[in-house]
């Protein structure tokens, strides 16, 4: 806790002592060691899906807690290999990606079909693989922002993966096709016994207005989450909310004044709790992304984890902050994130 307090600095009291004023924790389905038995055993998911989900919850330093720490390294396509791996070239080699996840005590490693397929026979039985099946590639000129299928679900199952992941750019011109494709892929994944993880991202230039980026607004991201769980994502990945009022600022869609007057506040824990609400009040786990690497990675990572845990979230999926530094430091950062979820003094607000 002392390390966590030091990294939170002046925000420590505000984040660790806050009591949510909007959605009471009694309304949430919270993470716990019995999450699969308590929640997913009541769903329509086939038994092999429950087995793979439990395998993810039982791996790494967070095993048996109901929380997840996942290493995602799909940025070689999403952001280009040079932009992602030049700061630490060892990660051009897929095996080092898996080694970082294992040495960092992660529940799973998420990457592309090629990365995980390159070392599946050596590691797929040692740490759960999460195969990302669609991507936005940046080699087309001019750049376009469109998630397309790079792999199919059966390829993930054949390599022994526990889960598949996909991204939908909700709000984009291409969203309808992506929703239909991913929904079909997730249906097949469940038939084959794989867990489904959805990157519920927003993308529309109109979501930036008057200097504010509403791609990270609580109301818009929560609705994206709600769309994601509708196509039976078992876990939702979302950028942590930083503001609110996207619907009203952009003046589109439908919302309700109670969202802003009663269910949320300006506090980051309340904003993230509204994201959890969009995930069927926590019945589907919300994992927040760690974001880009910067000048204060350790402090930023701890802050994101504290907010996620206290909001009722299920964990963190942090990549660039970990792999764009020497492996020893990457392991330290991942362990620090996990320490937040292991600390019983950090409770749900």
User: Active-site positions?
Assistant: 237
Q: What is the distance between the alpha carbons of residues 204 and 239, in angstroms, rounded to a whole number?
A: 15
Residue-wise burial string across 92-131, b where 16 or more C-beta atoms lie within 10 A, e elsewhere = eebebbbbbbbebbbbbbbbbbebbbbbbeebbeebbbbb
Q: What is the distance between the alpha carbons of residues 151 and 132, in angstroms, rounded to a whole number?
A: 8
Task: Please measure the distance between the N-terminal and C-terminal CA atoms of the chain and give it in whole angstroms.
Answer: 17
Q: What is the distance between the alpha carbons of residues 78 and 87, in angstroms, rounded to a whole number?
A: 16
Q: Strands 148-149, 235-238: parallel, antiparallel or unpaired by DSSP?
A: unpaired
Cis peptide before 55 (omega within 30 of 0): no
φ/ψ region of 85 (left if φ > 0, alpha if ψ in -120 to 50, else beta) reads alpha
- At residue 59's C-alpha, the angle toward residues 123 and 25, to 5°, is 145
Task: Name residue 217's beta-bridge partners.
Answer: 243
Angstrom CA distances, 244 to 47, 281, 313, stand at 39, 18, 18
249, 212 contact by CB (below 8 A): yes
| Radius of gyration in angstroms for the set of CA atoms belonging to the chain, rounded to a whole number | 19
181, 149 contact by CB (below 8 A): yes
Q: What is the distance between the alpha carbons of residues 205 and 28, in angstroms, rounded to a whole number?
A: 33
Q: Number of helices (H) and strands (E), helices first, in the chain?
A: 18, 12
274, 263 contact by CB (below 8 A): yes
Q: What would the two tokens of residue 2 be?
A: 């002392």
């Amino acid at each position: 806790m002392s390390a966590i307090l030091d990294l939170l600095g002046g925000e420590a009291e505000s984040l660790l002592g806050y009591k949510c004023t909007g959605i009471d924790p009694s309304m949430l389905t919270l993470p716990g060691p019995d999450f699969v038995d308590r929640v997913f055993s009541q769903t329509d998911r086939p038994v092999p899906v429950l087995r793979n989900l439990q395998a993810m919850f039982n791996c790494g330093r967070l095993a048996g807690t109901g929380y997840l720490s996942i290493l995602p390294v799909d940025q070689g396509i999403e952001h280009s290999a040079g932009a992602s791996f030049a700061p630490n070239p060892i990660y051009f080699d897929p095996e080092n990606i898996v080694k970082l996840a294992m040495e960092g005590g992660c529940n799973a490693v998420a990457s592309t079909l090629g990365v995980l397929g390159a070392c599946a026979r050596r590691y797929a039985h040692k740490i759960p693989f999460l195969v990302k099946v669609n991507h936005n590639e940046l080699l087309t000129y001019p750049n376009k922002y469109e998630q397309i299928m790079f792999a199919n679900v059966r390829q993930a199952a054949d390599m022994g993966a526990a889960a598949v992941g996909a991204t939908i750019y909700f709000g984009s011109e291409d969203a309808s096709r992506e929703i239909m494709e991913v929904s079909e892929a997730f249906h097949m994944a469940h038939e084959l016994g794989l867990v489904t993880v959805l990157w519920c991202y927003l993308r529309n230039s109109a979501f930036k207005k008057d200097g504010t980026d509403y791609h990270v607004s609580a109301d818009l991201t929560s609705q994206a989450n709600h769309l994601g769980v509708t196509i039976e994502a078992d876990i939702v990945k979302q950028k942590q909310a930083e503001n609110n009022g996207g619907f009203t600022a952009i003046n589109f869609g439908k919302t309700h004044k109670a969202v802003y007057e009663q269910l949320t506040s300006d506090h980051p824990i309340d904003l993230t709790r509204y994201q959890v609400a969009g995930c069927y009040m926590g019945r589907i786990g919300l994992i927040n992304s760690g974001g880009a690497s910067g000048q204060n990675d350790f402090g930023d990572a701890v802050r994101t984890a504290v907010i996620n845990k206290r909001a009722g979230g299920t964990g963190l999926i942090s990549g660039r902050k970990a792999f764009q530094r020497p492996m020893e430091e990457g392991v330290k950062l991942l362990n620090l994130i996990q320490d937040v979820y292991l600390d019983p003094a950090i409770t749900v607000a």
